Amino acid sequence: MKDGYLKVEQSPALAGEVELVGAKNAVLVIIASLVVTAGKSVLHNVPLSADVFEMIELLRHLGAVIFFNTEKHELLVDTTTLHSWQVSSVLMQKTRASILIMGGLLARFGKARVGLPGGDAIGKRPIDYHLKNFAKMGVVIHHEADYLCADVERLVAARIVLEYPSVGATENIIMAATRAQGATKIINAACEPEVLDLIACLTKMGAKITVEAPATITVEGVDVLNPIEHTIMFDRLEAGSLLIAAAATGGEVFIPDADAGVLDVFLLKLEEMGHTITIGENGKGIHLKSTQTPRAVSLKTGPYPGFPTDLQPPMMALQCFASGTSVIEETVFENRFHHVHELIKMGASIHIEHNKAIITGVERLYGTHVVAPDIRASTALVIAGLVAHGTTTVSGLSHWKRGYEALEKKLQHLGANVVVHEAQNEKIMVFDMVRQAHHERD
């Protein structure tokens, strides 16, 4: 098999306590944001997921000197020697998050020449909100073959109205605006916790940023931004996935690191299913005790604080064997139902009407071979495999690894029968990444 796969067997009720890593979607943009500074920064709680290694590669390519202490999850990034504002198509294609380098490059150099970004095939995923709002800040952009070339003499502040609160566009505009002349206002901005972690980080650098209700972010440009030390927020999506896995198997789990305040609607839906959620003091720490008779619930994904689209696929897997009918409406991405066909192969009863999936709970799912086409679909299929009769093989291991740092080990720790089978070339890739990280320390 070209890609590796996960082999999942029906598992007992998951039980125990489990730790989280830092949030992939916070760390990617925070690493990219370091290009606005010139100096040595330190990030803590950095997850060892494949997308993080790609972002590190991208910054190295621009001239940053980076040491990743993978044992301590500590990343040292020296941007003093940054000398380039160009990123090849090959590097840009590795992730979607690569586009987040543009805002920082414009702030640092007033220039960016980058290929078009890659990423999961969960929709068209255009970047028009990024580009047209850079243009409002005085940036001149043109296409040269597969490259985007952006130039600006001096970034100017603008009043930016986003027609949709795009996470990536909000982050890119904020980064560019840190060095613009005047105060940039972003109306209908994304206020995901990962965006707020970026803001916390930029504020430490010396940026002047305020967030006001309902969703306005104001960034006053400054002349200099300094290197920082920052601890990445815990991954709410990893927390959600572990809670769903425990609920699916009728188990009981405690996640001390989890912040309940960033998962409210998701936790509400688990409670409506009949699961008991207990939250620790100050909202820190989530305990889930499953019901043995889960009820189907309906939900609609939306920008934060709505139900997170990234938890929609695993939550759908959970509805497949709940009692009753669930309607899941996906409003963020137009094509995030690739897991549906695979769940049907496992015996689920699902039909799609436009952007809605209608799921009728069945008695049981059956293990078979399924394909994970994106990160969160891989989570859904592994979770379905934990309850399915027989063996489930989930190919598309590279997606699983892009999103998570060894999530299979955490599931194993809770009692799950899930094993990773590496493709030969992936073994080499991971070995190379870790060896390189250690080599640079020596």
- By CB under 6 A, residue 113 contacts ligand EPU: no
Query: Which of 37, 49, 166, 249 touches ligand EPU by CB under 6 A?
Result: 166
Q: How far is the CB of 13 from ligand EPU (least distance, A)?
A: 27
Residue with Cβ nearer ligand EPU (59 or 296): 59
The residue behind tokens 């003091």 is: 281
* Number of C-beta neighbours around residue 288 at 10 A: 23
- Per-residue burial over 420-435, b if 16 or more Cβ lie within 10 Å, else e, is beebeebeebeeebee
Ranges within 83-102 binding ligand EPU (CB under 6 A): 96-97
What the block records as the tokens of 390 is: 């027989």
Residue with Cβ nearer ligand EPU (99 or 105): 99
Residue type, 347: G
Q: Which residues, other chains included, contact 18 with Cβ-Cβ below 8 Å and sequence gap of 6+? A: 242, 253, 254, 255, 410, 413, 414
Closest by CA position to 185, among listed 166, 146, 212, 153: 212
Q: How far is the CB of 287 from ligand EPU (least distance, A)?
A: 25
Q: How far is the CB of 143 from ligand EPU (least distance, A)?
A: 15
Comparing every residue's Cβ against ligand EPU, the nearest one is: 168
Lay out the site mask for ligand EPU across 180-209 (x = CB under 6 A, - = otherwise). ----------x-x-----------------
- Per-residue burial over 49-76, b if 16 or more Cβ lie within 10 Å, else e, is bbbbbbbbbbbeebebebbbbbeebbbb
Ranges within 412-441 binding ligand EPU (CB under 6 A): none
Q: What are phi and psi of 147, to 5 degrees?
A: -110, 150
Lay out the site mask for ligand EPU across 211-250 (x = CB under 6 A, - = otherwise). ----------------------------------------
- By CB under 6 A, residue 375 contacts ligand EPU: yes
Q: Which residues, other chains included, contact 153 with Cβ-Cβ below 8 Å and sequence gap of 6+? A: 110, 138
- By CB under 6 A, residue 384 contacts ligand EPU: no
Residue with Cβ nearer ligand EPU (150 or 375): 375
- Per-residue burial over 96-128, b if 16 or more Cβ lie within 10 Å, else e, is bbbbbbbbbbbbbbbebbbbebbbbebeebebe
Query: Which of 376, 386, 394, 426 touches ligand EPU by CB under 6 A?
Result: 376
Which of these ranges, 64-72, 162-170, 198-206, 311-319, lies near ligand EPU under the rule CB under 6 A?
162-170
Which of these ranges, 5-13, 160-168, 279-287, 348-356, lies near ligand EPU under the rule CB under 6 A?
160-168
Ranges within 285-324 binding ligand EPU (CB under 6 A): 309-310
Q: How far is the CB of 277 from ligand EPU (least distance, A)?
A: 22
CA atoms in the 13 A half-sphere facing the CB of 302: 8
Q: Which residues, other chains included, contact 281 with Cβ-Cβ below 8 Å and sequence gap of 6+? A: none
Which of these ranges, 3-11, 138-146, 163-171, 352-360, lies near ligand EPU under the rule CB under 6 A?
163-171
- By CB under 6 A, residue 128 contacts ligand EPU: yes
3-state class of 140 per DSSP?
A: strand
Closest by CA position to 380, among listed 321, 309, 317: 317
- By CB under 6 A, residue 396 contacts ligand EPU: no
Q: How far apart are the first and last CA of the chain?
A: 36
Residue with Cβ nearer ligand EPU (123 or 206): 123
Alpha helices (runs of H) in 165-309, residue ranges in sequence order: 167-177, 193-205, 236-248, 264-272
Ranges within 5-64 binding ligand EPU (CB under 6 A): 25, 28
What the block records as the tokens of 52 is: 């993080």
Which of these ranges, 118-126, 245-253, 264-272, 379-387, lies near ligand EPU under the rule CB under 6 A?
118-126
Number of residues interacting with ligand EPU: please give it, by CB under 6 A.
27
Contact 191, 212 (CB under 8 A): no
What the block records as the tokens of 250 is: 């009728």
- By CB under 6 A, residue 152 contacts ligand EPU: no
- By CB under 6 A, residue 372 contacts ligand EPU: no
Q: How far is the CB of 336 from ligand EPU (least distance, A)?
A: 8
- By CB under 6 A, residue 332 contacts ligand EPU: yes
Q: How far is the CB of 308 from ligand EPU (least distance, A)?
A: 6
Residue with Cβ nearer ligand EPU (30 or 322): 30
What the block records as the tokens of 21 is: 């890593």
* Number of C-beta neighbours around residue 248 at 10 A: 27
Q: How far is the CB of 197 from ligand EPU (least distance, A)?
A: 11
Closest by CA position to 66, among listed 401, 439, 403: 439
Which of these ranges, 52-60, 121-129, 226-234, 249-257, lies near ligand EPU under the rule CB under 6 A?
121-129
Residues near ligand EPU, by CB under 6 A: 25, 28, 96-97, 120, 123-130, 164, 166-169, 190, 192, 309-310, 332-333, 375-376, 403
